[in-house]
A and B are shown apart, each in its own frame.
Chain A
Amino acid sequence: MTALNRREIVAKLLADRGNDLLVVPSLGQACYDCMAAGDSPQTFYMWGAMGGAVPVALGLAIAQPDKRVICIAGDGELLMGLGALAATAAEAPANFAIACLDNERYGETGQQHTATGRGANLTAIAAGAGFGTAMMVTTEDEVAAGVKACRETPGPVFVTFKVDDAPEEAAIPPKDGAYLKSRFREAVVGKI
């Protein structure tokens, strides 16, 4: 397995994000990666609700069609909610991308193997679900195109980044859910 670094990928995904990029990272390491790249009220960190990151981001993308929405999700997260890929592709939100940080592990719970290291291909599943753009990024050369697709290509976009399974140091974001919701709404909707 090639070893892309998850922190570097997320830093690129969120670079110069401005106010028009809305981000939903799934529980565990994806949240820490986003926090390490710089906290923002326009990031809604999921501390639980495993399997729910994609549908949260979909509801947000439908509500905010003029802003780009990126769901940054672990492979374990996506495997728990595969049906949401079909539902998302069917809705076809043009402003929506999923960036999968595929370490082939349930990293947060002790590095158990997920199905992606044992034959499952999330990019192929997303393509089969109906995502118009579904990419697999395994080398440094491909990273820029993968990031650009997440940021700019008309959605729905799905990009798998095959990342190193070495855990990074935790960068802990706020975890009070009501606070995360209120600051997000204040920044995006203009009212709590």
Chain B
Amino acid sequence: MSEWRDDIFDCLQEAGVRQVAYVPDAGHARLIDRCHEANGMRAVSLTTEEDGVALMAGAWLGGDKGVMLMQSSGVGNTINMLSLVKNCQFPLVTLVTMRGEWGEWNTWQVPMGQTTQQHFEVAGVICYRCDKPEDVKETVATALRFAYYTNSAVAVLLGQRLIGAKIFPED
């Protein structure tokens, strides 16, 4: 399994992240497993991504740093809940596995995947992109520091070229 996912896990540990909210994505599967197994970390499975945004706010109110994992199609579910982050100046870090871009096969992923960054930016979330494994560690570490130091909302978009497109049988 590729090492950059372990780099992300190391970044979360070094930053002292205690709550990891997620709605599953295959691209995050290994990281999710590692977070569930880690001491001092609580991985919380949610039924919709907007709840992850709200959970992160509650975690911060109680003194916990958090990170939210989701895939790009979940970004559309978060929009109104991001008003909570903006109004209250909550720090937010979300790591988004991209679909609907490089090498995509499933048409239904394309509309959200192609507009993920625009939706985030309109809602006040700063976007960092990662397409190369060697960039992941520095980008995630920087996103964590920046968000917590400046009460900002930051998304790291992990490109489909990095993750590897899901292969489907030929139709």
**Chain A residues with a Cβ under 8 A of chain B:** 22, 24, 44, 46-64, 81, 83-84, 86-87, 90-91, 177-178, 180-181, 184-185, 188-189
Contact of B141 with A by CB under 8 A? no
In-complex Cβ contact of A55 among B54, B63, B80 (8 A): B54
Q: Can you show 30 pairs from A to B with CB atoms below 8 A apart?
A: A22-B62, A46-B84, A49-B81, A51-B50, A52-B54, A55-B51, A55-B54, A55-B55, A56-B57, A56-B58, A56-B84, A58-B55, A59-B56, A59-B57, A59-B61, A59-B64, A62-B19, A62-B64, A63-B18, A64-B63, A81-B48, A81-B50, A177-B84, A178-B87, A178-B88, A181-B89, A185-B61, A185-B63, A188-B61, A189-B63
> What 1/0 mask marks residues of chain B from 28 to 51 whose CB sits below 8 Å from any chain A CB?
000000000000001011111011
CA distance A58 to B54 in the complex (A): 9
A178 contact set on B, CB distance < 8 A? 87-89
Contact of B83 with A by CB under 8 A? yes
B80–A50 touching, CB < 8 Å:
yes
A90–B88 touching, CB < 8 Å:
no
B62–A189 touching, CB < 8 Å:
yes
CA distance A56 to B71 in the complex (A): 21
**Chain B residues with a Cβ under 8 A of chain A:** 18-19, 21, 42, 44-48, 50-64, 66, 80-81, 83-84, 87-90
Specify the main secondary structure of chain A where it touches its partner.
helix
A81-B62 CB under 8 A given contacts A48-B87, A56-B57: no
A177-B19 CB under 8 A given contacts A52-B81, A55-B55, A188-B63: no
A84-B63 CB under 8 A given contacts A49-B83, A50-B80, A56-B55: no
A22 contact set on B, CB distance < 8 A? 62
A62-B81 CB under 8 A given contacts A84-B51, A91-B44, A180-B88: no
A47 contact set on B, CB distance < 8 A? 87
B90–A63 touching, CB < 8 Å:
no
CA distance A50 to B83 in the complex (A): 10
A63–B88 touching, CB < 8 Å:
no
